[in-house]
Amino acid sequence: MSTQAPERLGPYRLVRKIGEGGMGVVHLGLDSEGREVAIKVLHPHVAADLKARDRLTREVETMRRVRSPYVAEVVDAELVGGQPYVVTRFAPGRTLEETVLAEGALEARQIIRLAQGLCTALVAIHAAEVIHRDFKPSNVMLVNGEPLVIDFGIAHLVNATRLTQTGMFVGTPGYLAPEIIRDSEITQAADVHALASTVFFAATGAPPFGTGTFEAVCFNIMEGRAQIDKAPAWLRGWLSRALRVEPGARPSAQELLRMARSLDPTVTSFHETPSDGPTGTKRMGNRTRVMDNYADVLPPVTYGSPPAPSPAPPREEKPPPYVPAPMPDRHPAPRVDQRVAGYPAPPTHPPAYQPTQGGRPPQQPPPYSPAPPAERKRYLVGSQFVGLLLLVTLTALAVMLPVAVSAVAVALALVLRVGEYLFGDMVKRRQVRGSSAADPLLVLVGTPWALVKAALVTLVHVPLALMFGVCVWGVLRWGGGMSVNDAAAYGAGAFSAGLFVLPGGGAPRKAVTRSLTGVLRTPGAALVAALVVGTAALLAVMFAMGQNPSWVPWRAPETVIDELTSQARHSTMGLITGLIDSLLNGMGMGFLSPWS
């Protein structure tokens, strides 16, 4: 499988890479109508793993179950092809991790807004019976100050089969719950722990369990050694409740949201009453205890070996207290999903090339910024230009064969309009709730109504195009001095073009653009198509201007007008109705004429 990123994936154009994680690469893309989307593509070596594909399938199913303005919704997905990918709504902005590393810890007002938004998202996630398992600063976007959860890469349904091997886990160590590290039963309480760790990072600029070696961070997490005293005083009670070691001692997402709504930077008190629940945990109640200090907000400290089912490890085997190692002047930026948030921010201007221990340059994704409108249009101009050349070819053919090609143009406009009504609506549905196995059935059921709707619109639109053609005919005949036949031929070309360019021709145009965008998957293909169709259009125009039109299966208009004139039908309306009557009779459809 090729490791080079394609220029297209399905109907989407890839603009540039905006991020990379352990499972795949995230690209900024454009759909067939030029709207920005985020496309997550599995790494080739990961896509070859059936378990990874299962995880991606679960991600799509999970995100479709969640409905929240604080969770990025799925637009589309392709899970069975050579390059599985998921398309989500593009969120312009920076991740919480990037924001804090660049600007420092958030202000109190921003912290409360972040905590309430994340808790609201977690309530929706847990209501869908989902465990996210990967709440962390790099998975939270800040869009106009509001948080948006963007990645469900390792989420799974409650009670779903574990896909990881025994003794293994996936996630970012600095934000994992103790039960995930212990490989014990994982519940929704793990998300509460990770959410609180993410808010702690936003409030302090550092992870709650320190930085350093993998073993030291995991040890601090399992021992409950959160550095709560580094957090603002008014936030410590909320954090200490959510960061407890035992899952049953943590509040639910709904209770955590209620507590977040009560956060106040001017108040350093919290409410608690004992609970009679089986776990012996304390729940928020009505009694208020104002603290003189904040020592009792911290996790309980056990002096000595805590009771445990298994014997405690010898004291000498425990890792020594964490002492930060001196940081070198040039620290290569780790990958987004592997960075423990306490690392120092990468330099503003990274060095051009600095090999790591493996001999490869560090990989740092480019800035996360939306494409400008001019760049979006550039990715559509190829298909639109080829469509314009096709319209020129059709118009030239209509000048050469006015009757036959005009009839074909009407039928083509009708078919394209039906296709746009069917598949355009399907694309809009997918943008709301993603692709579904029921889409083909909905297309089949909607076909009769699309036919009726397209026929009615075409019946209204054809007379408008016919009037446009008659106007061109009159201008060329009496204003340009052309013969009747030549002016009528150009009028037929104007009629055929009017079916697509006049008001009401938007649906056929969109259908052509959508079809060409799906076929021309690279700029090179668009260039080749433009050259081929452009050559055909040039030849068609040259032939149309250099030979007399053929009116088969009708007779030349000049002959018909002479016959009508000889019959003393001199009025303008008489000539027009006579021409239409003669045209329909010549095509074998005289029964449609109202003047027969």
Sequence-separated (6 or more) residues with CB below 8 Å from residue 98:
138, 368
- The pTM score is 0.49
* pLDDT tens-digit readout, 526-541: 888 999 999 999 999 9
Q: Tell me, yes or no, whether 259 lies in a domain.
A: yes
> DSSP string of 276-292?
-STT--EEEEEEEEE-S
User: What residues are paired with 146 via a beta bridge?
Assistant: 143
What is the tally of helices (H) and strands (E) in the chain? 19, 13
Averaged over 31-41, what is the pLDDT? 85
Averaged over 3-10, what is the pLDDT? 65
Looking at residue 388, its amino acid is: L
- Distance between CA atoms of 485 and 561, rounded to whole angstroms? 10
* Maximum mean pLDDT: which of 172-176, 443-447, 450-454, 480-484: 450-454
Sequence-separated (6 or more) residues with CB below 8 Å from residue 333:
339, 346, 350, 362, 364
Averaged over 325-347, what is the pLDDT? 39
Confidence of residue 317 (pLDDT cuts 50, 70, 90): very low
Let me know whether 216 and 297 are in one domain. Answer: yes
Which residue among 537, 567, 582 closes a domain?
537
Is the pLDDT confidence value at 439 over 80? no
pLDDT at 153: 52
Is the pLDDT confidence value at 30 over 60? yes
Q: Torsion-angle region of residue 28: left (phi > 0), alpha (psi -120 to 50) or beta?
A: beta
- Distance between CA atoms of 520 and 526, rounded to whole angstroms? 5
Let me know whether 493 and 562 are in one domain. Answer: no
Sequence-separated (6 or more) residues with CB below 8 Å from residue 120:
68, 70, 257
Higher model confidence: residue 305 or residue 192? 192
Averaged over 447-468, what is the pLDDT? 92
Confidence of residue 83 (pLDDT cuts 50, 70, 90): confident
* pLDDT tens-digit readout, 373-390: 554 555 567 788 899 999
Q: What total number of domains does the chain contain?
A: 4
**Structural domain of 588:** 553-596
Let me know whether 136 and 282 are in one domain. Answer: yes
pLDDT at 355: 41
Measured CA to CA in angstroms, residue 477 lies from 73, 147, 486, 565 at distances of 58, 66, 8, 17
Averaged over 61-78, what is the pLDDT? 80
Averaged over 460-468, what is the pLDDT? 92
- Distance between CA atoms of 430 and 452, rounded to whole angstroms? 24
Q: Tell me, yes or no, whether 370 lies in a domain.
A: no
Let me know whether 409 and 277 are in one domain. Answer: no
Is the pLDDT confidence value at 195 over 50? yes
Confidence of residue 132 (pLDDT cuts 50, 70, 90): confident
Tokens of 127: 């209501």
Handedness of CA 190, 195, 196, 202 (dihedral sign): positive
Is the pLDDT confidence value at 224 over 50? yes
Let me know whether 226 and 134 are in one domain. Answer: yes
- Distance between CA atoms of 198 and 177, rounded to whole angstroms? 12
Q: Torsion-angle region of residue 264: left (phi > 0), alpha (psi -120 to 50) or beta?
A: beta
State the CATH number of the domain containing residue 40.
Answer: 3.30.200.20
Sequence-separated (6 or more) residues with CB below 8 Å from residue 385:
526, 530
pLDDT at 120: 94
- 497: enclosing H helix or E strand: helix 484-501
pLDDT at 19: 79
134 is catalytic: yes
Task: Please state whether beta strands 130-131 and 74-78 pair in parallel, antiparallel, or not at all (unpaired).
Answer: unpaired
Let me know whether 177 and 255 are in one domain. Answer: yes
- Rounded to 5, what percent of the chain is helix, strand, coil? 50, 10, 40
Let me know whether 291 and 199 are in one domain. Answer: yes
Measured CA to CA in angstroms, residue 429 lies from 279, 442, 540 at distances of 46, 11, 40
Let me know whether 173 and 310 are in one domain. Answer: yes
Tokens of 194: 């990770």
Is the pLDDT confidence value at 134 over 70? yes
Q: Tell me, yes or no, whether 265 lies in a domain.
A: yes
Is the pLDDT confidence value at 97 over 80? yes
Let me know whether 575 and 506 are in one domain. Answer: no
Let me know whether 72 and 131 are in one domain. Answer: no
Q: Tell me, yes or no, whether 364 lies in a domain.
A: no
Let me know whether 69 and 101 are in one domain. Answer: no
Averaged over 294-308, what is the pLDDT? 41
Q: Over the chain, what is the mean pLDDT?
A: 75
Averaged over 479-503, what is the pLDDT? 90
In this prediction, what percent of the chain has a pLDDT beyond 90?
A: 30
Sequence-separated (6 or more) residues with CB below 8 Å from residue 161:
none
State the CATH number of the domain containing residue 124.
Answer: 1.10.510.10
Which residue among 65, 89, 113 closes a domain?
89
| Look-up of token digits 């195009």 | 465
Q: Tell me, yes or no, whether 18 lies in a domain.
A: yes
Is the pLDDT confidence value at 593 over 90? no
Is the pLDDT confidence value at 36 over 90? no
pLDDT at 273: 39
User: In this structure, are residues 128 and 65 in contact, taking their beta carbons and an 8 Å threshold?
Assistant: yes
Q: Tell me, yes or no, whether 232 lies in a domain.
A: yes
- Distance between CA atoms of 270 and 291, rounded to whole angstroms? 8
Confidence of residue 248 (pLDDT cuts 50, 70, 90): very high
Confidence of residue 91 (pLDDT cuts 50, 70, 90): confident
Which is the catalytic residue, given 76, 134, 191, 486? 134
Let me know whether 130 and 107 are in one domain. Answer: yes
Q: Tell me, yes or no, whether 596 lies in a domain.
A: yes
User: What residues are paired with 42 via a beta bridge?
Assistant: 24
Q: Tell me, yes or no, whether 260 lies in a domain.
A: yes
